[in-house]
């Protein structure tokens, strides 16, 4: 079983014109965001089938949804970059990331798998205690575009409940596995009062790579307003029972973590400030 996040999640997002976040009223965000994403991002972006767009044309009877956003990056005159980590928590990797972030006094946003949260709630509570924020990354990291509406909703709701059970408050941000959306999951994210956070910059190196290559790619390409995607877990590989030792995704994650100090130092040397998603939105003058 491969790591589904690596099929799209490790790639950089093309920069999307002048306005880099989308807003729409209620569940209509599913249609408008998906149509633009398909044209602008191709197969690596958020995608929606026509059926999903039709299905998400409006919220369920009697439900009124507010304004929610799909965000890849933001425009800001402040030199800020959001650091985000996906696919955790992990009994080893998450703690290594937390310690490195502490060393540089950097705060980040962790998009967690609910199933892993129930096994390792202490990692999530510790991340919050250290000033980081937590986002929803589904229950078991499945491709939501291939799920039934009921399964998609179940994936979001169980993660939402797991995070709330661990830290006392529900996550306000949602990131779909592989960055892939359908109308149903977009609507359910809106029902949960969650903005959808994608990314504009990833590790950029295929395969396992080296820490030097990963750090160089990020530092050479980062811009103010970017949302940087890294990882502190192995996603669905954590659910496998057929592995005698570390799986193929773990080494890839270890390389990212080994690169993290150089990434932070390079970002700081460029005069950019690492922050959370909420901090980046605040720097852009956007209500978090």
Which residues are catalytically annotated? Answer: 86, 231
Phi, psi of 201 (to 5 degrees): -150, 130
C-alpha span between 189 and 175 (Å, rounded): 9
How does 4-37 read in b/e, with b if 16+ C-beta sit within 10 Å? bbbbbbbbbbeebeeebbbebebbbbbbbbbebb
State how far the alpha carbon of 16 is from the alpha carbons of 19, 20, 226, 277, in Å: 7, 6, 11, 18
Q: What is the DSSP string of 197-248?
A: E--SB-----SS--HHHHHHHHHHH--TT-EEEEESS-GGGGG-SS-SS--H
C-alpha span between 200 and 154 (Å, rounded): 28
Phi, psi of 273 (to 5 degrees): -110, 115
Cβ atoms of residues 184 and 55 within 8 Å: yes
HSE, side-chain direction, 13 A CA sphere, residue 200 = 22
C-alpha span between 264 and 260 (Å, rounded): 6
- What size, in residues, is the chain? 288
């Amino acid at each position: 079983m491969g790591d589904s996040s690596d099929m799209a999640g490790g790639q950089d997002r093309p920069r999307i014109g002048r306005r880099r976040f989308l807003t729409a009223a209620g569940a209509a965000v599913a249609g408008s965001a998906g149509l633009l994403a398909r044209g602008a991002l191709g197969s690596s972006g958020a995608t929606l089938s026509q059926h999903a767009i039709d299905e998400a044309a409006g919220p369920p009877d009697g439900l009124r949804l507010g304004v929610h956003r799909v965000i890849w990056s933001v425009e800001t005159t402040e030199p800020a970059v959001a650091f985000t980590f996906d696919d955790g928590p992990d009994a080893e990797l998450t703690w290594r990331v937390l310690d490195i972030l502490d060393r540089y006094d950097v705060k980040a946003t962790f998009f967690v798998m609910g199933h892993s949260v129930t096994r390792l709630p202490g990692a999530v509570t510790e991340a919050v205690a250290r000033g980081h924020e937590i986002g929803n990354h589904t229950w078991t990291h499945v491709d939501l575009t291939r799920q039934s509406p009921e399964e998609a909703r179940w994936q979001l709701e169980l993660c939402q409940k797991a995070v709330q059970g661990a830290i006392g408050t529900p996550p306000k941000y949602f990131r779909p596995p592989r960055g892939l959306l359908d109308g149903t999951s977009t609507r359910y994210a809106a029902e949960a009062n969650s903005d959808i956070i994608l990314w504009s910059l990833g590790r950029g190196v295929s395969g396992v790579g080296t820490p030097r290559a990963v750090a160089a790619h990020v530092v050479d390409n980062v811009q103010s307003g970017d949302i940087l995607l890294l990882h502190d877990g192995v996603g669905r590989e954590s659910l496998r029972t057929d592995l005698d030792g570390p799986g193929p995704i773990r080494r890839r994650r270890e390389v990212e973590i080994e690169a993290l100090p150089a990434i932070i130092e390079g970002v700081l040397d460029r005069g950019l400030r690492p922050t959370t998603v909420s901090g980046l939105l605040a720097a852009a003058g956007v209500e978090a």
